[in-house]
């Protein structure tokens, strides 16, 4: 319901190649680290967003979406569901084209707000699983 094939394809192929990955740090044990690496392999520029603002996979990190000094196309969210809504709202505020909530990240109210603002959104899916399926 929150991840139809057409929206997934549009985000992965047409929304743009600059992906802010919220929750990405240098902790290799976290899912965000591996997913960001897959996105890079498929030609996406990843932008780490984490309070530590670490450089990850060779890309400068930022403490928040608002701190990024250039436009991001997609905001990929790796935070707990109760924290995800404000991130989606910030994605709308910074002019992103799409929001992607990772596996297990669910906030139906944020989904409705984000879609109402005109952004594409996928919830409870993983782009690292979906992008190879595009063929």
C-alpha–C-alpha distance, residues 25 and 19, integer Å = 14
Q: Indicate the pTM of the whole model.
A: 0.96
Structure tokens at 126: 């993983």
CB atoms within 10 A of CB 52: 12
What would the pLDDT profile of 75-132 be if each residue is shown by its tens digit? 999 999 999 999 999 999 999 999 999 999 999 999 999 999 999 999 999 999 999 9
Structure tokens at 72: 């991001």
pLDDT for residue 135 is more than 80: no
C-alpha–C-alpha distance, residues 104 and 61, integer Å = 24
C-alpha–C-alpha distance, residues 79 and 76, integer Å = 10
C-alpha–C-alpha distance, residues 35 and 28, integer Å = 10
* Residue in 113, 109, 125 with CA at minimum distance from that of residue 12: 125
Quote the pLDDT of residue 1. 73
Residue 135: how many CA atoms within 13 Å on its side-chain side? Answer: 0
What would the pLDDT profile of 35-49 be if each residue is shown by its tens digit? 999 999 999 999 999
56: which strand partners? 59
């Amino acid at each position: 319901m929150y991840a139809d094939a057409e929206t997934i394809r549009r985000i992965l192929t047409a929304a743009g190649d600059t992906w802010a990955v919220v929750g990405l740090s240098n902790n290799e044990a976290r899912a965000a680290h591996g997913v960001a690496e897959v996105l890079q392999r498929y030609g996406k520029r990843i932008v780490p967003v984490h309070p530590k603002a670490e450089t990850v996979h060779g890309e400068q990190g930022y403490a928040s979406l608002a701190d990024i000094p250039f436009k991001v196309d997609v905001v990929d969210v790796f935070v707990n569901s109760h924290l995800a809504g404000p991130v989606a709202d910030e994605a709308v505020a910074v002019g992103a084209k799409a929001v992607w909530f990772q596996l297990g990240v669910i906030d139906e109210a944020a989904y409705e707000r984000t879609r109402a603002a005109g952004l594409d959104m996928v919830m409870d899916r993983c782009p690292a699983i979906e992008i190879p399926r595009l063929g």
